[in-house]
Structures are given as C-alpha cells and as structure tokens.
Amino acid sequence: MTEGMLEHIEAHIIRMEGNLMHGRRVLLLSKLIAKKDGLEYDDDILTFAAYFHDVAAYPYYRKLFSAEFDHALESSRLIPELAREYGFSDIKIEIIVEATRFHNKANMGIHNETKLIRNADGVDYLGYMAVARDFSKFPGDFGKVLKSLKRRKDQFFPLIDLPYAKELAVPRVKELEEFIRRFEEECLGVL
C-alpha cells in the first residue's frame, strides 16, 4: 500500500471519528503475527481490513443502527462501497468483507487476512489496552468498567487461535485478571 493511500485511509477514519489507533495496532499486530507464524497475506487487503473492520461502530455510521446491532455484520455490509472508493477489485473486496464479517467470530473465514485481523483484534482488546479503553469509554462509572473488563477475557481470548497471537494474549489475560483482582480489592465494593 502506498504511503499516500495510507494517509488517505487515516484521514478518512479521522473524519468518521473512528478509532485510528486501534486500526494501527490491529495492522501492526497482524503483520507481527503473520511474520512469526509464517502466514502470507495481501498487504493492501490486510491494511484496509485493519482500519475498517469496525467501521459500523464509528460514530459517523453508528447512528444508522439500533442500540443493539452486530457491528461486524453491519461493517461488512459497508465495506464494498468503501473499498471501491479506494479502487479495490471485486476479488479483494470479497476477502476484505470476509475479514470484516468474521473478525469477532471464532473459526470462521478461510483467508489468512481474516485470521490475522481476528487474532490481532482479540489481542488488542486484552491487557492494559482493555483497561485504558474501558476507562475512557465509561468515565466515572467504575461499575461499568469492571463489568466490561470481566467480559473481555471471555469474549476475546476464545477468538485467538494462531500460535504467536496466543503467546501475546496469555500475559495480557494475566495482566487483566490481576488488574481486576486489585481493582476490586481497592474499591472495597464501592464503585
């Protein structure tokens, strides 16, 4: 992917009030996992999927959906039009759609890009990153933070099935569990 296209994608994410840093981390983690596990991938597909896999959850689009919706499914429905704007072929769009649709569904999808996005996304939602994300998402509501953090391990760890991703995830899960334990201890039940 050219530097110009990447800059355009990042500007697009910012305009939609998307989580640019999450997209960057998912891309970096995907490439690291691919390198360590010896998986081949198309760089353009992986990059686009990393940045846009949560697009329906971005404030720009989220208002179109009801309170409860499958953001992966809805994101996959938005992908074809977005990807065409960037000149992707129908074949590449199919893979991006798969990676987006199944980024939060265990054992689904056949392409390496799908597996890499799912594993990288799962790793990014564990450990101290999960703590930082939830405290910023629920400022002042420690009860919601704690509930969300407890869900993270059960929600994201089962998605991780690639060897190096598991190696990255295990210490993050331990950090998350330790944080939850200490946080509950220090709150003295007052949240």
pLDDT along the chain (191 residues), means of 10: 89 91 96 98 97 90 77 92 96 98 95 98 91 88 91 89 97 93 88 75
- The fold for domain 1-113 equals Cyclin A; domain 1 (1.10.472)
Q: How many CA within 13 A on the CB side of residue 91?
A: 1
Locate the domains of the chain by residue range: 1-113, 125-191
pTM, 2 dp: 0.92
* Residue 2 pLDDT: 84
Q: What is the pLDDT of residue 61?
A: 83
Runs of H (alpha helix) within 38-70: 43-52, 59-62
DSSP state of 105: S
At residue 69, the pLDDT reads: 79
Q: What is the pLDDT of residue 123?
A: 96
Whole-number pLDDT of residue 44: 97
